Structure 1
Amino acid sequence: MKYEDLKILDELREKGSITEEEYQREKEKILNDTPPSSSSAFGGSKPLFGLAENTYLMLMHLSQFLGLIIPLAGFVAPVLMWIMNKDTNANVDLHGKNILNFTISYLIYSAVLAITIIGIPLLVVLGIIYIVFIVMAGVKANNGEYWRYPFIIQFFK
């Protein structure tokens, strides 16, 4: 694997895509890179249960759908996934805070709409938006992208 990385790095230098300084710095990283320890909580990019980081992040977002089956599970599941790994993986922490902000914000919006007569039809729209946003965030997370949910209040930064 290291030799393939070095070959690619060498080709980039020859094409002029990277400078000599960048080449030397990246070469040093490749040569000094040691395989991740299997005793760590993530085993490198494997957050939990042997899942790749992107898959784990996607499941964090999609676990919000558990609330449709079991009350409060859509809140508890992503929070537990976040708490278990937030200290060992910056992406888990970032996505977890995003999910919490989203859930709390949309809970507030739902409560405000529920107490108004004209808000009841808007609750249906909010529910559809909630589902669409969860799916979008899950897909983006699986693709290695961070997507901040729209219209959220920043409770956790």
Structure 2
Amino acid sequence: MSQPDPYAQPHTDISASQERTLGAVAHGVPLVAMVLSAGLLGFVGSLVIYLMYKDRGPFVRAHAANSLNVQIITGIVLLVSLPLMLVLIGFVTYPLALVFAFVLHLLGAVKANSGQWWNPPLTPRFVR
């Protein structure tokens, strides 16, 4: 029989309105970080929100996972765009990936704030 970890934080249940707010934050923080860092730090924001709040409720977990999935696919497209810049195509795909992520995070924040479950289109589910 395992003993509980004495250093672990107790998990507290949160209300539905707090879940909606945290779901919107899960999309809003990466959105702001992405804009301020030309697309490079949005992943960090999504990962931190996911790790901190994934066990607080199913709604928060779903939106945080969606946010992280958007950032993963954006990062993949940005990495592929770098060598494509040698043949000039990357100069088109890089900003398109940023606009795509911006729109998906904006939609995700609005949907989470209104309490709607949502899976972003054209985004594989790496994290569940």
Q: State the structure with bigger RCO (CA 8 A, min sep 6), 1 or 2.
A: 2
Note if contact 2:54-2:61 (Cα within 8 Å) is conserved in structure 1.
yes
Between the aligned partners of 1:41 and 1:87, the Cα distance in structure 2 is 9
| Offset, 1:124 | 1.8
What is the match of residue 28 of structure 2?
A: 62
> Are residue 44 (structure 1) and residue 8 (structure 2) matched?
no
Identity of matched residues, %: 25
TM-superposed deviation, 1:120: 1.5
Deviation at 1:59, TM superposition (A): 1.1
* Offset of residue 54 of structure 1: 1.1
Residue of structure 1 in register with 2:69 after alignment: 101
Deviation string 1:110-154 (CA, Å, 9 cap, x unpaired) is: 111221121211222222222111111111111111221222222
Find the partner of 1:89 among 57, 62, 66.
57
Aligned-CA RMSD value: 2.3
How many residues were matched structurally? Answer: 114
Q: Which one has a bigger Cα radius of gyration?
A: 1
Structure 1 unpaired stretches of 5+: 1-38, 47-51
- 1:72 offset after TM fit, Å? 5.6
Distance 1:122 1:78 in 2: 22
- Deviation larger for 73-82 or 91-100: 73-82
Distance 1:140 1:77, change over 3 A: same
The CA distance in 2 between the partners of 1:109 and 1:140, in whole Å, is 25
Normalising by structure 2, what TM-score?
0.74
